[in-house]
Every structure is written in C-alpha cells, then in structure tokens.
C-alpha cells in the first residue's frame, strides 16, 4: 500500500523531494523515509532528539504538516542549500559600487535556492545628476535589467530558476516607467513587480488630489494621484503586473515595527521582510483534519489542529538553527528575530467537506475562525518555546505588544507574551503551496478555491507509449469515493465561476489573523470592465488586505480560461518523409521516469564561429529513438577558449538534464534564442543573433527540425493543445518551461504548473 492519494503525488515526490544519490539512485526508498529524514534532522537540536523525532514524524505522516519544498527536499541531506524560501536583500546603496555589491549578493542567494526581493526606490531617478561624473543617472530600471540578465544565468537548488520581486514606492520619480516596464514582453522576465502604495497616496486617490514624485527631498514632478492610480490599474489590467502592496499598512501591523522598517517582499508577496530578512514556510493541511466529511456532523478537529500547530511551530523554529544561509547578514537577521511563516493549504477542500461554498459569508466566517485558531495556537506555542529556550533576541515587550497585529490579539495571549516573551517574532503567513499541494494528493492550494475538479495529463513512458491519468481534486475524489459519480452539489465552485469580490472577501477574512501577508490570486473574467477591475483593488484596500494580485486572461497574459471550439480532426503531419506521422509536439506532457541512456546514440556535430572570438564552438547533439522517432537526448558544447569552459559545461549539463526528462523540450530553443548580450550581438548568415547563447539555440532548433521533432523554425511550443478537463470549462495556459505541458495557471500570485508543480516564483 502507498501513502500517496494519487499517481501525480508520488511523481512529484520522486521528482522534487525524494533524496537520491548523484546518479539518481534513491536514498529515500519510500515517502516514510523522507518523513523520517526530515524529522531526524529537525530534532537534532533538541535535548531529547529521539522523542522529538517521533513527534515530528507523526506530524509529517499522511501529509498533515507540509514543510515548504526547501525543507522537504533539503533537510537531512547535508547538501549546501538553504532551507529558507524567502529573502529580501539589503538596501541598495545609491552608488555604482554598492549596486553591484548587491548584485553579487543576489547571485549568491539564488545559487542556494532562495527567492529574493529588492526595493529599487533607493536608486536615484533617470536623468538625475551624478556627482564627480559628467553624466546623468540611468535610473533604477536600467539596473533592474542587469539583475534580470543575472537571474537568467542562475539555476537555483532543485533545478529551479531564481525568482525575484522588485518594488518601487509610489512617489519615486521613475514610478511611471516602472509600472509600464512589463508591457515589453522581453523585459524583466525574471521579475515580479509591485508598487509600494502608501496610505497618503490612497487618501489622495480618493480625494482626487495631486501627488508629488520625490527623491532625496527634491520634487521632480507633480501628477494627479488618480491618474497615477489609473496607470497602475491599466498596466495590471493588460499585463497582470504590477501588483499592489499597501506598505504603510504592513509596517503598522508588523510586530517588529519598533526595530525594523519593511520596503520589499519575497517573490510571491506573502513575506514582507526588512533588509536581509529571511523566512521559512510550512503549511497545515486542513483537508486532512476534517472528520466525517460531507455529512451533517462534518467538522475540523480543533484539538488535532492545536496539537499539530504546536508541533509545526517547534519544527520550524528548529529550522532556523539547522539551515545554512547564503550570507552571514541573513543568518544574523534570522537568528535575531526567528521569523517563521506557518500557513495552510487545502482550505477550499476543507470548506467543501463542511458543505460551505467558497466565497460565501459562511465560508469567510469559517475561514476567519480557523485562521484565528491557528494564530492563537501558534503564538501560545511560541510562548512555551520562549519559556524553554528563550525569547528571540530583539524581543521588547512594550514595543511588540503595541503593534497593530498584537493590539487585536486575545488578552490571554498578550498576557502570556508580556510575562514570558515569545520565541518567534512573526509566526503566520499564507504562502504558495502549488507543488506541495500536489504532493499531498492534489489538495486545493493555500487559501485558493479549487482550480479544476479534474483534468487529464498525458504521460510518456520509456517504451514510447503514452498513457493518460486523471488528476482529481482531493475533495472531489473523496466525494466520488463516498457517493460514486453522482452530481456534485452546487456549493462546489471553482476559481473561474467565482466573482472577484468573493476572492477578495476570502483574502480579507484570512488576512485578519495572519501576521505576515497572503499569496493569493483574484481571478477576473476577461470581459470585466476597467472600472469594475479597479473596484477589486479598492475593495481590497477597504477590507484590510495588505496587497492585491489579480489575473485577467487575455492575449498577453495567456488565455487560461478560454473554451475550446469544436474543430474537425486534422490530417497528421509527416516529418522528413517518414512513413509514420509525426506526433504533435505538444501532446507529451511529462515523463513517468527520466530516460535511460543507451550505450550508443545517433547524433550530429555543428560548428559555430562567433564573430570576434578566436575559437569556434563545436556543438554535438545526440538523439534517442522512441517509437520510431528521434528526439534530442543530450548536448555537448566544446571550445578551445577556456573563458567559455565553465558556462559551456553548465549549459551542457542543464540542457541534457532537461532533454532526458522527456516531454516537449522545444522550449529550450525559445529560451536560448531570447537571451541578449548587453555588449551587442552579431550578424550571422544574414540574421541578427542577439548573443552567442541565442546562436546555440538556433543550432539546436535546426537540429530539431532536421530530425522531425518540430515542424519548422520558430515553431517550438507554438501550438496550444488543451488537456481534457472534467467538471468545468476547459482551462489552458502557457507552456511550462520545466515539463513542456500547457497547464500553467496563475495561482497564489504566481504562474504554476499543474502537471509538474513548477513555479516561476521558486
């Protein structure tokens, strides 16, 4: 018997979290081994490690407590990776040397697997004078481009690309350029961007007043506040960015506002953090705590919840001591405040099991009640830890209890903190849980509604055959197990059928008892009017949210909610005069297992001579034959130029690793061809090639065309096949850069793949 509720859960574990030797040999034979590995590692700092190891194991068992992916994959492996998910980097100095020192720190942090946030408001605006140099400043946007290029070259731990958040104050002179930067699809692709909106600005918007754009005490421009607000709204209406962060509200509520000021967040926005701030994440799986689901007596086991929260807080507190940190400044900051971010997943499923419609007043009230229970249990558990191990070093009772969050806390909790201190400065956060929710049996993500009741994913087997497996929402599967294929009750709703206001209502209900913030997407229909769209953000402000992220499908953001029209079957395309039709490249979604390498492969070697380079590159691409068709399997890049050695080896290993996972790997071509060299490209065979990496992408593309893997130049990942979806209108998304499937969805403020769990936000 397996502990996994669905095949996809076991596949996610094997691909993301299972501890393996360097050659892929499993060390964790079963998921129980993974739980034991994590429990043992987090218990080693305890006075009685064996006793706590078993307590921790019991919390992890059956996916009740879900530490974030960094912890699940890294704890107990002795790998040099951080177990923290979220970092906000140091304040960027307004000097060339300081800026590039910050760039170096960002690269080191992402190299170990951390997502980072930066506030670019501290860099002088474009056109400002530079003392001692006869030139004007290029502005923060130009330096964001440099960060973006750096991020493209970094693959963080677990084969994830780095993720970054850039923020800018609403009164910075370059704010208008900032809010429209993502209108260029090729610019800032590695960034999420958000505007730091102040209380004063919102007051000016509501009063239809003017607004000064200021830097270092100098007013550069005065605009109408409502015009600037409309500009922010128009950009996010069209391009899904920038997000909005209500920064004064965040600082007023912050338990630590007596000793820190926040100006940035992590990539998904659920962790507002000070300079060098770091936070680790974990989630209580509410779907596993409901007793007698779908019956009149259905309820969440509050006693089990309280006990589980206390154990989770202790485990996460231990991570502060067990984790490595990319920078000493991050380690000092984490030790001084011992921040943790305990959240939930499976909320929507738990509500369904109680017969509550997500977005209803009853569901919002129940959500608020559950989140208050978690907050109380978290704070009281942290007080108990303070009695045993001491309060966090920067604890000051008067300042701490005066914060906005603590003023609304129950009197008994405040009294306990005043008497004994508290171990962790902040304790709760609602983080993205896309991957771990799949791992836990496809429970609903975070506090999001169910996205799809079920969908079909195609899986390529080693012998070249294709199988299909249905991926069913956890609560829907429980309903089927209990009642068969009877029609789902009308309280089963999903992200597409909800009004935007219902999304906001649920976010506000949860935010009341979350001391950090919340990662959530408010889905809006494509035909929502601009005025109605703006009202969503005003509702978020008026109801106490700390930020707002929306997603409106369109030609730019992706037609996630488009319904497929019936089309006649098309004749199969023949490749290279093959006797058999070439399979549509988008048909393959995910490999059941990585492909094995035979002793001999067919291949070709290509020579690339980059202008102004003394030595040529030699690119060898070897292919595997599956089902009578060749597909790229590995790449080797060689050059006598030793300056190329490190990056060509890295590129060789990464591309080959992607090829061996199978599926539609033509996205590699598109990614490489999109890389530009800030020093300039070159003309080759009558075409402008923006970088040597783009030239390599072109060679791989021509090889794929030659073997019939793609139909022609520029046709990698161009078609948009759709998965069969059960129970709602067919959702579809952009292609996943990890597995090639078309199951990318905007969930919890981040593009996330439902097929493999990949998240743009790391």
Following DSSP, what letter does each residue of 633-695 receive, concatenated? EEEEEEES-GGGHHHHHHHHHHHHHHHHT-S--THHHHHHHT---TT--EEETTEEES-HHHH
132 φ/ψ angles, rounded to the nearest 5 degrees = 80, -5
> Is 266 annotated in the active site?
yes
Contacts of 504 (CB under 8 A, 6+ apart): 522, 536, 539, 540, 543, 545, 548
Residue 465 CA, distance from chain mean position: 32
- Catalytically annotated residue among 241, 260, 270, 448: 270
Cα–Cα dist 543/541, whole Å: 6
Q: Within a 10 A sphere around the Cβ of 537, how many other Cβ atoms?
A: 26
Cα–Cα dist 243/236, whole Å: 7
Residue 282 CA, distance from chain mean position: 14
How far are the Cα atoms of 107, 403, 717, 737 from residue 675, in angstroms, in the given order? Answer: 18, 46, 17, 15
CB 211 within 8 A of CB 253: no
CB 376 within 8 A of CB 422: no
Contacts of 236 (CB under 8 A, 6+ apart): 242, 243, 244, 550
Following DSSP, what letter does each residue of 518-547 receive, concatenated? B---EE--TT--HHHHHHHHHHHHHTT-SE
Cα–Cα dist 691/44, whole Å: 49
Using omega within 30 degrees of 0 as the cis cutoff, is the peptide bond preceding 242 cis? yes
- Catalytically annotated residue among 86, 151, 170, 268: 268
Cα–Cα dist 121/170, whole Å: 9
Cα–Cα dist 598/42, whole Å: 41
Residue 350 CA, distance from chain mean position: 23
CB 193 within 8 A of CB 249: no
Cα–Cα dist 575/715, whole Å: 14
565 φ/ψ angles, rounded to the nearest 5 degrees = -85, 150
570 φ/ψ angles, rounded to the nearest 5 degrees = -100, 150
Question: Pairing mode, if any, of strands 191-197 and 164-169?
Answer: parallel
Of the CA atoms within 13 Å of residue 720, those in its CB half-sphere come to 15
Task: Quote helix, strand, coil % in the chain, to nearest 5.
Answer: 40, 20, 40
> Is 487 annotated in the active site?
no
Contacts of 354 (CB under 8 A, 6+ apart): 290, 293, 298, 299, 300, 366
Question: Pairing mode, if any, of strands 191-197 and 243-246?
Answer: parallel
Alpha-helical (H) ranges within 340-433 are 347-353, 361-389, 397-401, 404-407, 411-420
Alpha-helical (H) ranges within 153-186 are 175-180
Q: Treating both helix axes as pointing N-terminal to C-terminal, what angle do 49-60 and 302-322 enclose, rounded to 10 degrees?
A: 120
How many helices and strands, by DSSP H and E, does the chain display? 24, 32
472 is written with which tokens?
Answer: 């069913």
Cα–Cα dist 24/31, whole Å: 16
Of the CA atoms within 13 Å of residue 603, those in its CB half-sphere come to 18
Cα–Cα dist 405/415, whole Å: 15
- Catalytically annotated residue among 85, 192, 266, 523: 266
Q: Within a 10 A sphere around the Cβ of 329, how many other Cβ atoms?
A: 16
> Is 192 annotated in the active site?
no
Handedness of CA 599, 605, 611, 614 (dihedral sign): positive
Residues designated catalytic: 266, 268, 270
């Amino acid at each position: 018997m397996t502990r996994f509720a669905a095949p996809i859960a076991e596949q996610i574990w094997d691909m993301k979290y299972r501890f393996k030797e360097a050659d892929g040999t499993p060390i964790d034979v079963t998921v129980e081994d993974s739980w034991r590995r994590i429990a043992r590692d987090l218990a080693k700092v305890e006075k009685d490690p064996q006793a706590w190891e078993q307590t921790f194991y019991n919390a992890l068992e059956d996916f009740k407590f879900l530490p974030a992916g960094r912890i699940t994959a890294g704890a107990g492996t002795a790998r040099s990776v951080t177990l923290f998910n979220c970092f906000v980097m140091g304040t960027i100095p307004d000097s060339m040397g300081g800026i590039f020192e910050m760039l170096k720190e960002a690269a080191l942090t992402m190299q170990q697997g951390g997502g980072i946030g930066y506030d670019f408001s501290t860099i002088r605006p474009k056109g400002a004078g530079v003392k001692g140099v006869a030139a004007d400043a290029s502005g923060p946007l130009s330096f964001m481009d440099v960060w973006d290029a750096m991020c493209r070259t970094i693959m963080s731990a677990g084969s994830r690309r780095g993720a970054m958040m850039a923020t800018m104050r609403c009164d910075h002179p370059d704010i208008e350029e900032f809010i429209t930067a993502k209108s260029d699809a090729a610019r800032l692709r590695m960034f999420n961007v958000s505007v730091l909106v102040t209380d004063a600005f919102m007051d000016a918007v509501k009063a239809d007043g003017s607004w000064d754009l200021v830097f270092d005490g100098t007013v550069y421009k005065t605009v109408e506040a409502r015009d600037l607000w409309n500009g922010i709204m128009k950009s996010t209406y069209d391009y899904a960015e920038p997000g909005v962060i209500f920064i004064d509200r965040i600082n007023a509520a912050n338990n630590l506002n007596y000793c820190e000021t926040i100006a940035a967040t992590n990539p998904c926005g659920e962790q507002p953090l000070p300079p060098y701030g770091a936070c680790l994440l974990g989630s209580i799986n509410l779907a596993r705590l409901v007793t007698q689901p779908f019956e009149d007596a259905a309820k969440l086991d509050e006693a089990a919840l309280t006990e589980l929260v206390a154990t989770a807080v202790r485990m996460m507190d231990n991570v502060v001591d067990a984790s490595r940190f990319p920078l000493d400044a991050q380690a000092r900051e984490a030790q001084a405040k011992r921040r943790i971010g305990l959240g939930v997943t499976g909320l929507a499923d738990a509500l369904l099991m109680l017969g509550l419609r997500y977005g209803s007043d009853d569901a919002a009230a129940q959500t608020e009640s559950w989140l208050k229970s978690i907050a109380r249990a978290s704070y009281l558990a942290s007080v108990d830890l303070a009695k045993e191990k001491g309060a966090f070093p920067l604890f000051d009772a008067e300042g701490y209890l005066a914060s906005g969050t603590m003023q609304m806390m129950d009197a008994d909790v405040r009294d306990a903190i005043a008497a004994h201190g508290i171990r962790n400065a902040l304790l709760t956060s609602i983080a993205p849980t896309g991957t771990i929710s799949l791992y836990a049996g496809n429970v609903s993500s975070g506090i999001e509604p169910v996205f799809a009741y079920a969908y079909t994913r195609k899986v390529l087997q080693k012998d070249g055959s294709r199988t299909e497996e249905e991926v069913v929402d956890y609560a829907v599967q429980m309903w089927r197990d209990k009642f068969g294929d009877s029609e789902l009750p009308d309280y089963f709703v999903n992200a597409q059928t909800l009004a935007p206001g219902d999304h906001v209502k649920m976010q506000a209900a949860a935010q009341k008892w979350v001391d950090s913030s919340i990662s959530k997407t408010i889905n809006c229909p494509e035909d929502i009017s601009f005025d109605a769209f703006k009202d969503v953000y005003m509702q978020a402000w008026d109801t106490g949210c700390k930020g707002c992220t929306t997603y409106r499908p369109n030609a730019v953001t992706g037609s996630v909610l488009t319904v497929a029209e019936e089309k006649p079957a098309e004749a199969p395309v023949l490749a290279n005069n093959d006797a058999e039709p070439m399979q549509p490249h988008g048909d393959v979604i995910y490999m059941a297992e990585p492909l094995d390498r035979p002793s001999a492969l067919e291949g070709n070697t290509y020579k690339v001579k980059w202008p102004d380079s003394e030595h040529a590159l030699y690119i060898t691409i070897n292919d595997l034959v599956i089902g009578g068709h060749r597909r790229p399997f590995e790449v080797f890049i060689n050059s006598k130029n030793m300056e190329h050695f490190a990056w060509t080896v890295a590129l060789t290993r990464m591309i080959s690793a992607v090829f061996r996972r199978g599926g539609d790997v033509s996205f590699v071509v598109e990614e490489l061809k999109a890389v530009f060299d800030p020093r300039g490209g070159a003309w080759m065979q009558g075409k402008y090639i923006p970088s040597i990496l783009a030239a390599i992408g072109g060679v791989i593309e021509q090889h794929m065309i030659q073997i019939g893997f793609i139909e022609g130049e520029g046709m990698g990942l161009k078609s948009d096949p759709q998965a069969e979806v059960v129970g709602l209108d067919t959702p579809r998304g952009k292609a996943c850069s990890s597995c090639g499937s078309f199951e990318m969805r905007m969930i919890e403020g981040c593009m996330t793949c439902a097929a493999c769990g990949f998240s743009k936000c790391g």
